[in-house]
Amino acid sequence: MGLVCKVHITPADTGDRDGGAGLLRRVDWRRFPRLRHGWVDQGYRGEFLDRVKQAFGVKLQVVQRPDGGRRGRWVPPDTAAPVVAAFAVVPRRWVVERTFAWLGRFRRLSKDYEFLPATSEAVVYLAASQLLVRRLAGGAASARQHRSVRSAAGGSSGSRAGGAASAADPG
């Protein structure tokens, strides 16, 4: 469904595995008693998967391209290089990308404006709450209507000029 359960913001020099471990330590496991399986990308391979299984009881599955994603790999001189497509859909990866796209529609999340990680986390929770409230209030019909209004207007209604004009309009 693309709902945000927990957010953990780290500096850019923090590795994926360290950030993932920090996220799992911050999860309130009483709120998510059924969480037993997750998907991670290839940056989390190795002993990290076993440590997470032992410490938290969550089995993480590494998602990867169906062809292994081995473009430009070395092959022996007497062997023909395999044909690897330039683009391949990675299973389950689209869930994360779709959620990032939903959150990226909020102006405060379109760029990294915040100075403190706690402020960034709060903004993500605020945006996720607004998405959830819109789903609960309008349902599927409201989302279809919103998309058709945006496409008829010729793009996103969240631009700075449009937002300023609608904020200045008292009516």
Per-residue pLDDT tens over the stretch 11-62: 888 888 898 899 989 989 899 888 898 888 888 888 889 999 998 888 998 8
Structure tokens at 8: 């953990």
Residue 171 burial class via C-beta count within 10 angstroms: exposed 0-12, middle 13-18, buried 19 and up: exposed
Phi and psi for 131 in degrees, rounded to 5? -60, -45
Per-residue pLDDT tens over the stretch 73-88: 677 888 877 777 777 7
Residue 52 burial class via C-beta count within 10 angstroms: exposed 0-12, middle 13-18, buried 19 and up: buried
Listed in order, strand segments (DSSP E) in 36-167 are 37-40, 59-62
Structure tokens at 156: 């996103």
Structure tokens at 104: 């990226």
Query: By C-alpha distance, which of 72, 37, 74 is closest to 57?
Result: 37
